[in-house]
């Protein structure tokens, strides 16, 4: 029989209120929120004042509280709370993907050292149970790739700009009004949020702990109507997608960038605030999961699912990390991209290995071709500063190790000779 848990909750914003509502309206699972720690002393709350505290230690030092649920925005303070809770032997549920991605190695070690569980399903896919799917269903199978739409905010904005021809500013404002986007949307629209999620998923899919700063993230802030027109003429939609893929040399490549998606792809019809994740296994083939990626109740439901799992003693086993399913992470790979640029200076700055399509039209210039991922990472600031736009082109993204690419070209030359 599941134990009735006593919860100490940090944060009572969008997700915290969503959890409170979902918890109190669920029929199959019961738990008590003992205390809620908040920062703003002037804000009116929809719960009894007896539940509210402004002292985090009133929760952390309470021996009756079994589970700490951390749902605040500040990543560093979140880490302080979570690490302190784990050291005190308390189980933790969090939705803070930035905090997790930055401190993944430390948090992994703290769980083991203190024999406690840290669950974070809500951090990676909104209402999609991607982490537990990777942990349980794909715990032993060698995976080829995990990709998809991991950010409901940007997907909502792209849906409105492409399908309904709204301006970026209007679409962003709508997303903020609906509670999908923060007042400062930088984490979403510049691709940091899906990058943090990709780093978390890389651990469960391939067993690797990767530093976020090593992963390229290009967002949608430089998207121009010419890019949308190009995509439309080619029957593409534009989606912001992370890619986490095994390479021929058993290393793993990771990036986040806009991507042109064809109608034949599962992600083509994933619209508005929905997320979609494609998992490709060596033996099981392609699996597709879809669900809401933003919003109070869907994220609250994912948090509640973790709390319920804790009541049954669940914890992540990290089998692929223990078994070393992949050798390492690399940016030394080739990606096929559409690149809208301003002048020849941009082309000299970002050198392409191969160009398959080129257009010069005065105020609109682009090329399609292959470029080394490390080149893009090195020039990320330059791309943003000069409002250049890059989108992955391949329908099925193919990240090839540079050595493998050279070998293939050499073989082609031998055949032609």
CATH number at residue 354: 3.30.360.10
Q: Spell out the long-range contacts of 304-309 with Cβ–Cβ below 8 A and sequence spacing 24 or more.
A: 304/19, 304/22, 304/23, 304/26, 304/29, 305/121, 305/129, 306/93, 306/119, 306/120, 306/121, 306/122, 307/5, 307/7, 307/23, 307/29, 307/31, 307/67, 307/69, 307/93, 308/2, 308/29, 309/119, 309/132
What CATH number did the domain enclosing 27 receive? 3.40.50.720
Across the range 369-390, mean pLDDT stands at 96
1 falls in which pLDDT band (50, 70, 90)?
Answer: low
Has residue 26 been placed in a domain?
yes
Are 206 and 247 contained in the same domain? yes
Has residue 317 been placed in a domain?
no
Across the range 281-298, mean pLDDT stands at 90
DSSP secondary structure code for residue 184 in this structure: S
399 falls in which pLDDT band (50, 70, 90)?
Answer: low
Domains identified in the chain, total number: 2
Are 330 and 203 contained in the same domain? yes
**What is the reported pLDDT for 409?**
47
Q: Could you list the residue range(s) of the whole structural domain that residue 162 is in? A: 131-296+326-404
For the cut 80, the answer to whether the pLDDT of residue 227 exceeds it is yes
Are 184 and 333 contained in the same domain? yes
Across the range 193-222, mean pLDDT stands at 97
**What is the reported pLDDT for 413?**
44
**Percentage of residues in the chain with pLDDT exceeding 70?**
94
Proportion of the chain in helix, strand, coil states, percent, rounded to 5: 40, 25, 35
Last residue of a domain, one of 54, 86, 120: 120
Are 167 and 22 contained in the same domain? no
Has residue 369 been placed in a domain?
yes
Lowest model confidence (mean pLDDT) among 179-188, 195-204, 242-251: 179-188
Predicted confidence (pLDDT) per residue in 339-363, tens digit? 999 999 999 999 999 999 999 998 9
DSSP secondary structure code for residue 73 in this structure: S
Last residue of a domain, one of 63, 98, 120: 120
Across the range 68-92, mean pLDDT stands at 96
Across the range 40-59, mean pLDDT stands at 91
**What is the reported pLDDT for 97?**
95
Are 90 and 183 contained in the same domain? no
Query: How many angstroms separate the CA atoms of 58 and 62, rounded?
Result: 6
Query: How many angstroms separate the CA atoms of 251 and 93, rounded?
Result: 31
For the cut 90, the answer to whether the pLDDT of residue 215 exceeds it is yes
Has residue 197 been placed in a domain?
yes
Last residue of a domain, one of 100, 120, 140: 120
Are 83 and 195 contained in the same domain? no
44 falls in which pLDDT band (50, 70, 90)?
Answer: confident
416 falls in which pLDDT band (50, 70, 90)?
Answer: very low
Are 166 and 89 contained in the same domain? no
For the cut 80, the answer to whether the pLDDT of residue 394 exceeds it is no
**What is the reported pLDDT for 398?**
61
Q: Give pTM, 2 decimals.
A: 0.92
Are 47 and 157 contained in the same domain? no
Are 242 and 343 contained in the same domain? yes
Nearest-CA neighbor of 240 among 161, 179, 303?
161
Are 227 and 361 contained in the same domain? yes
For the cut 70, the answer to whether the pLDDT of residue 35 exceeds it is yes
Are 88 and 154 contained in the same domain? no
151 falls in which pLDDT band (50, 70, 90)?
Answer: very high
How far, rounded to the nearest angstrom, does the alpha carbon of residue 283 sit from its chain's CA centroid? 25
Burial 118-144 (b: 16+ CB within 10 A, else e): bbbbbbbbbbbbbbbbbbeebeeeebe
Angle, helices 14-24 vs 296-311, to 10°: value is 60
Across the range 45-66, mean pLDDT stands at 93
4 falls in which pLDDT band (50, 70, 90)?
Answer: confident
- Residue of 56, 145, 160, 197 marked active site: 197
Are 100 and 202 contained in the same domain? no
Q: Is residue 240 within 8 Å of residue 155, measured between CB atoms?
A: yes
Strand (E) or helix (H) holding 85: helix 75-87
What's the Rg (C-alpha) of the chain?
22
Q: What mean pLDDT, rounded, does the chain reach? A: 91
Q: Two tokens at 126?
A: 């909104």
For the cut 90, the answer to whether the pLDDT of residue 373 exceeds it is yes
Across the range 230-259, mean pLDDT stands at 94
Across the range 118-146, mean pLDDT stands at 93
Is 3 noted as a catalytic residue in this protein? no
Across the range 104-119, mean pLDDT stands at 97
């Amino acid at each position: 029989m599941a134990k009735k848990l006593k919860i100490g909750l940090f944060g009572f914003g969008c997700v915290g209120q969503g959890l409170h509502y979902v918890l109190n309206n669920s029929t199959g699972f019961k738990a008590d929120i003992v205390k809620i720690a908040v920062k703003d002393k002037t804000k009116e709350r929809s719960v009894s004042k007896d539940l509210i505290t402004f002292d985090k230690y009133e929760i952390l030092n309470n021996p009756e509280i079994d589970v700490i649920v951390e749902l605040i925005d500040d990543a560093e303070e979140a880490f302080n709370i979570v690490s302190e809770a784990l050291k005190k032997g308390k189980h933790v549920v969090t939705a803070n993907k930035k905090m997790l991605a930055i401190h993944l190695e430390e948090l992994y070690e703290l769980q083991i050292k203190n024999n406690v569980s840290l669950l974070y399903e809500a951090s990676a896919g909104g209402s999609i149970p991607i982490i537990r799917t990777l942990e349980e269903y794909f715990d032993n199978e060698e995976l080829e790739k995990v990709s998809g739409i991991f950010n409901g905010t940007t997907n909502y904005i792209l849906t409105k700009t492409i399908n309904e021809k709204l301006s970026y500013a209007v679409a962003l404002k709508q997303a903020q009004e609906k509670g999908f986007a923060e007042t400062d949307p930088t984490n979403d629209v510049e691709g940091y949020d899906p990058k943090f999620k990709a780093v978390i998923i890389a651990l469960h899919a391939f067993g690797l702990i990767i530093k976020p700063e090593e992963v390229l993230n290009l967002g949608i802030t430089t998207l121009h109507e010419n890019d949308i027109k190009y995509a439309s003429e080619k029957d593409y939609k534009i989606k912001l997608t992370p890619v986490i893929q095994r390479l021929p040399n058993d290393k793993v490549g990771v990036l986040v960038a806009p991507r042109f998606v064809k109608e034949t792809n599962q992600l083509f019809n994933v619209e508005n605030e929905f997320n979609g994740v494609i998992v490709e296994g060596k033996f099981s083939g392609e699996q597709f999961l879809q669900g809401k990626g933003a919003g109070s109740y869907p994220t609250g439901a994912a948090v509640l699912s973790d709390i319920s799992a804790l009541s049954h003693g669940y914890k992540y086993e990290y089998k692929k990390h223990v078994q070393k399913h992949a050798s390492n992470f690399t940016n030394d790979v080739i990606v096929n991209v559409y690149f809208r640029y301003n002048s020849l200076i941009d082309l000299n700055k970002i050198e392409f290995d191969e160009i398959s399509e080129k257009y010069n039209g005065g105020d609109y210039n682009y090329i399609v071709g292959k470029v080394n991922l490390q080149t893009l990472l090195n020039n990320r600031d330059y791309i943003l500063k000069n409002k250049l736009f890059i989108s992955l082109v391949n329908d099925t993204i193919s990240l090839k190790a540079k050595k493998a690419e050279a070998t293939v070209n050499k073989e082609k030359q031998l055949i032609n000779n």
